[in-house]
A = this chain, B = another copy of it.
Amino acid sequence: MEEFRKKIKLLSRDLKYKGSIMNIYDDVVDVDGNKVHWDYMKKCNAAAVVPVLSNGNILMVRQYRLAVDKWTLELPAGKLDRDDEDFLICAKRELEEETGYKSENVEFLCDTYTAAAFCSEIVRIFVATNLILGTKHFDRDEELVTEEWNIEDLKKEIFAGNIKDGKTISGIMTYIAKFNFSK
């Protein structure tokens, strides 16, 4: 691959905006002799969880998302507390904060780049089973409603374009493929 790699060379990366959850940079890049500007977002990584109840249903969270001006149905998720926080610890915390359930059976499902074209963020997605009731306590700026969903209904909502959240589609569909629910 190195013959291709040589064609893309970062010339400079200038910080343009420090946001509350991201920093935005202007990258100047030499692409095979052409000098171009690319946007680059440095953002803390995050973890998401597919929480599976003993009856096979999935715990989802419904919340209002200002950026898309819609109510969304999503997997519980949240960003790492610090850059070097362990993804698994973050996943367990977010599961309990957003759904009220704890689990010691939380296993890796897949890794997702939010937007490889411009953003550094990885969301690591886990599957949690053997859920036990813990304590629900939201972040100050979140408001969530927890809902229990059947897998087949979640699939239908994705096929219909009603569930749109990217990490949620990746997590639900990868969970289905891995544990081979065919119908």
A residues within 8 Å of B by Cβ?
1, 4-5, 7-8, 10, 16-17, 19-22, 24, 26-27, 29, 31-32, 34, 36-41, 62, 64-68, 70-72, 74, 108, 110-123, 140-141, 143, 145, 155, 158-159, 161, 164-167, 169-170, 173-174, 176-178, 180, 182-183
Contacts and interface: CB of A to CB of B under 8 A. Distances in A.
A67 B164 CA distance: 24
A68 B120 contact: yes
Contact of A166 (B38, B115, B176, B180): B115
Given A16-B19, A40-B66, A72-B116, 12 more contacts: A1-B64, A4-B143, A17-B24, A21-B117, A22-B39, A29-B66, A31-B141, A65-B117, A111-B164, A112-B166, A116-B164, A166-B170
Give the oligomeric copy count.
2
Contacts of A158: 110, 174, 177
Contacts of A173: 169-170, 173-174, 176-177
Contact of A115 (B10, B111, B114, B169): B114
Contacts of A178: 159
Contacts of A16: 17, 19
Nearest to A108: B161
Contact of A114 (B7, B166, B174): B166
Given A31-B141, A119-B67, A143-B8, A72 B19 contact: no
13 contacts: A1-B64, A19-B26, A20-B38, A21-B39, A29-B141, A36-B140, A108-B161, A110-B159, A114-B114, A159-B178, A166-B166, A173-B173, A180-B183
A119 B178 CA distance: 29
A62 B3 CA distance: 13
A59 to B, nearest CB: 18
